[in-house]
Amino acid sequence: MKFIVNINEITGSTKKKVGNKALRLSELFMTGFNVPKAFIITVDVFENFILENGLNNFMNYLLIEKSQRKICKISRKIRIGIVNGKMKGDIEKEILSKYENLNAKFVAVRSSAICEDSNKASFAGQFETFLSVKKNNLIQRVKDVWASMFTENIITYTLLNKISFCNLKMGVIVMRMVNAIKAGVIFTKDTLTRDEDKIIIEGAAGLGDKVVKGIIEPDCIIVDKKSGKIERKSRINVLSKTEIERLARVAMRVEKFFGMAQDIEWAIDKENIWILQARPITI
């Protein structure tokens, strides 16, 4: 079993070790969709890190504790322990070697938890993502992504959705950064009206993190799947008609591939549309 795998190496038993987000991206990558080169730090690395830094007892307490107040207190100790913990030298060396193989100026460090992006619960936007990461702070950002599993918001969401704490295990995606001119999100059905014949495209200039987090007002477009009719719902004109049509076609291909409505993060560079994430729409 490999502890760290390239995006095109996720097969067999490894599928259960990378998290849903990484698995979906790997499937798209292997089918020929434009997904940036990446490698995945498996759940095994996280679990070994927990053991090596003496945090396994706190993890066990989460499984038996009933009080939410105490659970949040325990999770805070785990979070601090992860951020300040030490990674084994050989694992750290392999991660940095994989980084070099990406031949990237910057990388994105993204969560891929076992419980994330499932058909029942998405954890959308709740785990940390770090953009424009360089080699010198990559290891710390990996630990920061792990630690984001143990915030109070995550604990509350986990309890509300009756998800077992034994599923709080994290793979981490280290992905080559797209030099994005425009980026954003696509929903392959209208999440407000639940109309499955509509595609909602949101986009902005530059990186898409501000769109994902709702920090800025994006260009918002509705595309009818059957007629191709385009309706602009915002005063901001970021995307051209050609870009809208291309994004809609890619989104419908992704939806067809997975067989259900998708929430997709995308980016456009000078030439290509890149898929950064695809998850089921759970509402």
- The residue among 138, 157, 176 that closes a domain is 176
Number of domains in the chain: 2
d(CA 25, CA 29): 6
Q: Same domain for 70 and 199?
A: no
At 262 the three-state DSSP class reads: strand
- What CATH code is carried by the domain that includes residue 236? 3.30.470.20
- The residue among 122, 151, 176 that closes a domain is 176
- Give me the pLDDT at residue 153, please: 82
Kindly state the DSSP code that residue 170 receives in the 8-state scheme: E
Q: Same domain for 157 and 53?
A: yes
Q: Same domain for 101 and 142?
A: yes
- The residue among 157, 176, 195 that closes a domain is 176
pLDDT in tens, 172-218: 999 999 999 999 999 999 988 999 999 999 999 887 776 666 677 78
Q: Same domain for 172 and 225?
A: no
d(CA 4, CA 42): 6
Residues near 97 by beta carbon (within 8 Å), at least 6 away in sequence: none
pLDDT in tens, 30-69: 999 999 999 999 999 999 999 999 998 888 887 777 788 8
d(CA 54, CA 56): 6
As given in the structure block, the two tokens for residue 29 are 């990558």
pTM of the model: 0.90
pLDDT in tens, 86-140: 999 899 999 999 999 999 999 999 999 887 655 555 565 678 899 999 999 999 9
Q: Same domain for 135 and 216?
A: no
Q: Same domain for 137 and 235?
A: no
Other C-beta atoms lying within 10 Å of the C-beta of residue 274? 21
Q: Same domain for 214 and 245?
A: yes
- What CATH code is carried by the domain that includes residue 119? 3.30.1490.20
Q: Same domain for 70 and 98?
A: yes
Q: Same domain for 226 and 87?
A: no
At 46 the three-state DSSP class reads: helix
As given in the structure block, the two tokens for residue 38 are 């990446």
| Single-letter code of the amino acid located at 144 | D
Q: Residue 17 belongs to what domain range? A: 4-176
